[in-house]
Chain A
Amino acid sequence: MSSSKKIRVLVAKPGLDGHDRGAKIVARALRDAGMEVIYTGLRQTPEMIVRAALDEGVHCIGLSILSGAHNALFPRVMELLKEEGIDDVLVVGGGIIPEDDIPELKKAGIAAIFGPGTPLDEIIEYIKANVKL
């Protein structure tokens, strides 16, 4: 009788970037894969994202940036999560992230980066396989 656990995901657009086509598509795809998705809308500061993630008790944060500000903003999100003592949330990123930047971002704690052309199923499978419920 008890309903099964649901994966909750926050899809967020940090910074001033207005490219939301990908983020919205990913949000819908995750919804259609049975997850509960909270989309923040544009122009979020890392502080807002972390607070939303905290309050909503999400299992995964999906960050989307196509405007090149990822090196400043992604690690900032990770830092704030740490400050809040949150270490059990899976953080993934997507958008236009140059190859050279990926190692540093992973070091900062971003679990995976999905670039242009990634099939939605790949993202769904990755999240399902890697969230801690």
Chain B
Amino acid sequence: MSVSELVNGVLSGKRRELARLISLIENEDPEAAEVLSRLYKNTGKAHVIGITGPPGSGKSSLVTKLTAELRKRNKTIGVVCVDPSSPFTGGALLGDRIRMQEHTLDKDVYVRSMGTRGHLGGLARATSDAVRAIDAFGKDIIFVETVGAGQAEVEIIEIAQTIIVTDVPGSGDDIQAIKAGIMEIADIFVVNKKDLPGADRKVTEINAMLDIDPIERAWRPPVLLTNGRTGEGVLEVIEKIQAHLQFLKESGLLEQKGLQRSRDELHDLMRYKLTRELYQKLEGRPEYEAAIKKIAARKEDPYTVAERLIAEFLFSESR
């Protein structure tokens, strides 16, 4: 498919073109950047909702139930779910989709699974651009489910306007996880599996933690109870999602977040491109290999060499 076929396909709502574009993004195909740059003006409309929390806490189930409810309100939905890739083989079992079966045949729902492919922080490198592609495709609301491996999965904050953090009753351990960084990014806490014992206590614990949290908040994250199997409590979650978006708009935070995001993105992109450019120029060149040997033999120091190589290769016109 050519670049314009992809651009037109995505803009006219063709799933196959969207799927192809996301594959190109995942494969870091240069064509993807071209398509994305042409789609860029058509993005920024979707409400992106991150959903993060411990493995098995019901993230996918909740997304399914939220989707069902939002579909009743005629919202179109995109979902990106991220699962870990094996650091040894690079393979991955992408299992979130199984929970989303009930929407498989709904043409207004698009679900895409991705492996992290070595990227840390709870998302794949491609997630952000994939979300953008789905945004251009025209979905009103896009859920992004993070890996859920339990580490600090804070990268989601860069792409989502609203972040839901899920937890389940029981084990005090995940409170620790929450303390370790997730606490700050949550806009809505959901204690899922309310049918299990200890759900109310969990709510109390999280609220208590929010009470002693030193950060000043204009938005106090609500703590809600849900059942990811039956959908109980999902209406309240939707209410809070909408309220949060409203809050972002009214407080000017939405605009602020947008600016910050553009700044970060430009910065990241430049850094990434520069490094890659540099590498491509240097890799395999005899001077480069020679310099490495000299550094290892303590004949030269890496600080000076780095400065010199950057100056020589990056800013020279020739290769």
Contact = CB atoms under 8 A, between A and B. Distances in A.
A–B touch (CB < 8 A): the answer is yes
Interface of A: 1-6, 8, 27-28, 30-41, 47-48, 51-52, 54-57, 84-86
Most buried by B among A30, A38, A84: A38
A39 B94 CA distance: 7
A28 B95 CA distance: 12
Contact of B97 (A2, A3, A52): A52
A56 B101 contact: no
B116 to A, nearest CB: 10
Contacts of B105: 47-48, 51
A39 B91 contact: no
Most buried by A among B91, B111, B279: B91
B15 A37 contact: no
B19 A31 contact: no
Interface in B63-104: 85-86, 89-95, 97-98, 101, 104
Contacts of B86: 31-32
A34 B113 contact: no
Contacts of A32: 86, 89, 91
Contact of B19 (A35, A39, A47, A55): A55
A48 B89 contact: no
A38 B113 contact: yes
B98 A55 contact: no
B27 interface: yes
B91 A30 contact: yes
B271 interface: no
A41 B89 contact: no
B42 interface: no
Given A54-B15, A56-B112, A36 B91 contact: yes
B229 interface: no
B22 interface: yes
A34 B16 contact: no
Contacts of B19: 54-57
28 contacts: A1-B276, A3-B117, A3-B118, A6-B90, A6-B117, A28-B93, A31-B86, A31-B89, A31-B93, A34-B89, A34-B90, A36-B85, A36-B92, A36-B113, A36-B114, A37-B93, A38-B97, A40-B97, A40-B101, A41-B101, A48-B104, A51-B105, A54-B19, A55-B19, A55-B110, A55-B112, A56-B111, A85-B16
B28 interface: yes
Contacts of A3: 27-28, 117-118, 125
B98 to A, nearest CB: 5
B221 interface: no
B26 interface: yes
A6 B91 CA distance: 8
B169 interface: no
A32 B87 CA distance: 11
Given A3-B27, A37-B91, 9 more contacts: A31-B89, A31-B91, A36-B114, A37-B94, A51-B104, A52-B104, A54-B16, A55-B112, A56-B112
Nearest to A51: B104
Contacts of B111: 55-56
B133 to A, nearest CB: 11
Given A48-B105, A54-B19, A57-B23, A39 B89 contact: no
